[in-house]
Amino acid sequence: MIRDTHGHVWNLGRADRVPLIVDCSGRGGTANANSKPSDRTVYVATNTEPHDCIIVGAGAAGLTAARALQAQGKRVLVLDKGRGVGGRMATRRIGEYRFDHGAQVLFGLPLELRFLLSDDPDRAVVRPCVSAPHQSEPGASSGLFAGVNGMSAIAKTLAEELAIETSVRITSIGWRDDCWHFASESGAAYTARTTILTPPVPQILRLMEHSGIELQSPVESDLRQVQYEPCLALLVTVDPQACRLDQTFVHPDGGCVKLLVDNHAKGVSAQPGAVTLHASAAYSEAMFEAPEEEIARQMLHDVGSYIDTSQATWQLHRWRYSQAVSRLSESYVALEQPGPLLFAGDGFGWGRIEGAVWSGRQAAEHLLTHVL
């Protein structure tokens, strides 16, 4: 094992147990749409020039890494299973209403995101935020920022000028002929000399398992220590007159809801009456698989003193992995064998958006310094 100042670098003994690889050259790099890739199948797009790096995940970590690599002239492709970019920096439109339903604020503005601030209100993508969503957070009273048009707008701006494919779920990866080969759920194929995987760590581990790549101890046992809490998010629309929130962020005492966010006061929804509710981690854990009507009934009941829920309409979003509550102290993990494979995201370093940005940046720096 070689350890460096920011991340872990490992020689991975048994990662050469790579998946079955199917050559689909001559088919435009895409497998026959009727033949779904079987377990551990990686389609090899031999007729395309490999990218310098493929990044899986267009969240804060993946986008930051891609920008850092592209700025140095590297050919980068970002793949994400979501319909849009941003990952857990998520904003949803429901009719006239808009909701931030994942991350609510930045606890400080990393260097990589400073360009999003502007004195010109037409150009600003983030702005300072006056009240805090988590009263007990260290530093919560100062240095808070939110997306002017929602948190996903931050990601959209970071994504500008990057090569990104969305609605691409990577199901397995394998190493052959000095390249990583990627297979997607729909049978598309991609190749790159290096890769950075940025999904939540349990999803990375599942991808490794599915790809037949065995991570040796202590890498695997370290990664299994990374834990995330779930969060049930209820997006509620109410009659604006019935919304009695006097602050943008409200923390009810007790009950199952830990946070109410007034998206109109926050500037996300032009239309008043769009309220995001985040359930506590304990409640989210206990009720994660419960029917949505039951969850909505209980959460709405608990906030009855803040909003009149009698005419409320709602949508539920279940975040299996919301915030990394137990993380690796290193800002990324790099595997050297059989080829350069890095893990990054908010499970590494200090977590949250700022940690994910830092992790992505450091992973990119590793590749630039040692590989590309």
Ligand X SMILES: Cc1cc2nc3c(=O)[nH]c(=O)nc-3n(C[C@H](O)[C@H](O)[C@H](O)COP(=O)(O)OP(=O)(O)OC[C@H]3O[C@@H](n4cnc5c(N)ncnc54)[C@H](O)[C@@H]3O)c2cc1C
Closest distance to ligand X from the beta carbon of 319 (Å): 4
Closest distance to ligand X from the beta carbon of 359 (Å): 7
Closest distance to ligand X from the beta carbon of 162 (Å): 14
Chain contacts with ligand X (rule: CB under 6 A): 56-62, 79-82, 87-89, 102-107, 133, 168-170, 198-200, 203, 207, 231, 233, 278, 319, 322-323, 345-346, 351-353, 356
Residue 278 · residue 231 · CB < 8 Å: yes
Instruction: Please name which of 237, 238, 229, 228 lies closest in space to residue 258, comparing C-alpha atoms.
Output: 229
Question: In terms of DSSP H, where are the helices of 49-175?
Answer: 60-71, 151-159
Burial 36-75 (b: 16+ CB within 10 A, else e): ebeebbbbbbbeeebbbbbbbbbbbbbbbbbbbbbeeebb
Closest CB to ligand X among residues 50, 200: 200
Closest CB to ligand X among residues 210, 242: 210
Closest CB to ligand X among residues 175, 190: 190
Tally of CB atoms within 10 A around 26: 8
Closest distance to ligand X from the beta carbon of 127 (Å): 15
Rounded to whole angstroms, the Cα distance separating 81 from 16 reads 26
Closest CB to ligand X among residues 169, 308: 169
Closest CB to ligand X among residues 172, 309: 172
Closest CB to ligand X among residues 37, 59: 59
Question: In terms of DSSP H, where are the helices of the chain?
Answer: 60-71, 151-159, 201-210, 219-224, 281-287, 292-302, 352-370
Closest distance to ligand X from the beta carbon of 70 (Å): 17
Residue 16 · residue 339 · CB < 8 Å: no
Closest distance to ligand X from the beta carbon of 30 (Å): 16
